[in-house]
Amino acid sequence: MTVADRLAEALAPFVGGELPVRLRAWDGSETGPVGAPLVEIRTPDALRRLLWHPGELGAAQAYVTGEIEVHHDLDDALTHVWSVAAERGLSGVRPTPSTLLQAARTARDLGVLGRPPVAPASQARITGRLHSRLRDRRAISHHYDLSNEFYSLILEPQMAYSSAYFTKPLDDPSYTLTDAQRDKLDLVCRKIGLEPGMRFLDVGCGWGSLSLHAAEHYGAQVTGVTIAAEQKKFIDARIAERGLGDRVEIRLQDYREIPEVQGGAGHFDAAASIEMGEHVGQGNYPTYARVLRDAVKPGGRVLVQQMSRAGGRKGHPGGGPFIESFIAPDMHMRPVGETVALLEEGGLEVRDVHAMREHYVWTVDGWLETFEKNAARLTELVGEEVVRVWRLYLVGGRMAFRDGRMGVDQILMVRPGADHTLPRVRDF
């Protein structure tokens, strides 16, 4: 038997029969259905990783290091494997002791047994107390401080790293991701009722797309906070370029340290937080909700745009071993209803929940197109391994939103205690 045949035989009990992919082993041998996606195991180290980290983490480690290659379209391959797994009900497969013993013998015979390979350099190494200020800064730095040029080669010119809002047909060639991101920024500003001179707080301001838009196009007095040093550097340069120094202040500051929020006096007229709440953690979410409430005056509006995960994965609140280990350490997502309840418990009155799941699929389509167009330059900047991490991240994320495993919602609220100014009929 060839190496590929031996592997197929050992894997059969785990995959419910025939391999769902065409498999090429490191000796060049192949097996599996002709015409299925081609997966190449280039070295025994890939299998060694899977022995030490069965499932998603081991497979991701082997993929990002290049020990496993998925030929042709990664989305097609992953979608096919997900479909076969669902058809065969593989989530409930429990290998017998004899199956495990046979797999171990095959691993021994193929020279796979041994000490675990070193973790990929791109895998996060975050220490400290969960969601302490220091650990949060380290986790955010791991993801956001790759370099501003890196993100500029994936995002559109506004550098909006969140779901866009598509208001025109997808087949309109004149309507781009840049337009859809601008429409999202306008939607947020309209929902929170921004007018000239209003004091606006942008919590987790990213690269400043909302902060700058609110000042330039709505005349707001903006305070933005971020804990990513590279982001602040980038926004400060754009503030100077656009002459907005008298209207926008960006602080390198944790959301728990905003002085105007202390005491709950309601210094700001409105506040928003775009896809930052996922990073605060389950235990700190009540504090986050209270900060948003205390930031605005009674009757003031607050908008949160946040990702959700229906049902979640047991033991993986961030979405799974890959994203938690390589992309967003310590992230916590939950069903949107649970987030709404936490915001209400924090003292905010929820007025609208706007589901935008499909818009994230279309947003990632745009990011992937730009990513692949700039792949050579991205590789020069961060190396092939990080590029492979991001390809897997973008493709996998798009699939999760497409298939309904993840969602994204805009939650519009007001602080009780005074009459609000929301329109009687919504026409945002």
**Is residue 44's pLDDT more than 60?**
yes
Q: Is 114 or 200 the better-scoring residue by pLDDT?
A: 200
Least confident range of 82-86, 112-116, 310-314: 310-314
Q: Which residues contact 240 (CB under 8 A, 6 or more apart)?
A: none
pTM of the model: 0.92
Q: Percent of the chain at pLDDT above 90?
A: 75
Give the pLDDT confidence score for residue 101 in this predicted structure. Answer: 83
- In this model, does residue 75 exceed pLDDT 90? yes
Contact 21, 80 (CB under 8 A): yes
Q: Span 28-42, mean pLDDT?
A: 96
How does residue 143 score in pLDDT terms, banded at 50, 70 and 90?
A: confident
Q: What are 322-370's pLDDT values in tens digits?
A: 988 998 888 899 999 999 999 999 999 999 999 999 999 999 999 999 9
Q: Can you tell me the mean pLDDT for 29-57?
A: 93
Computed over every residue of the chain, the mean pLDDT equals 93
Q: Is the pLDDT of residue 139 over 80?
A: no
Inform me whether the pLDDT recorded for 315 exceeds 70: no
In order of 202, 246, 348, 412, the CA distances from 340 in angstroms are 20, 35, 9, 10
pLDDT value of residue 89:
83
- pLDDT of 284 strictly over 90: yes
Contact 328, 139 (CB under 8 A): yes
Under the banding of pLDDT at 50, 70 and 90, the label for residue 148 is: very high
Nearest to 199 by CA among 190, 211, 207: 211
Q: What is the pLDDT of residue 130?
A: 77
The pLDDT of 114-140, averaged and rounded, is 85
Q: Which of 24, 37, 41 is nearest to 76 (CA)?
A: 37
Per residue in 201-247, pLDDT tens? 999 999 999 999 999 999 999 999 999 888 999 999 999 999 999 99
Mean pLDDT for the stretch of residues 57-70? 96
Q: How confident is the model at residue 94 (pLDDT cuts 50, 70, 90)?
A: low
At 13 the pLDDT is 85
Please determine, for residue 127, whether its predicted confidence score (pLDDT) is greater than 70: yes
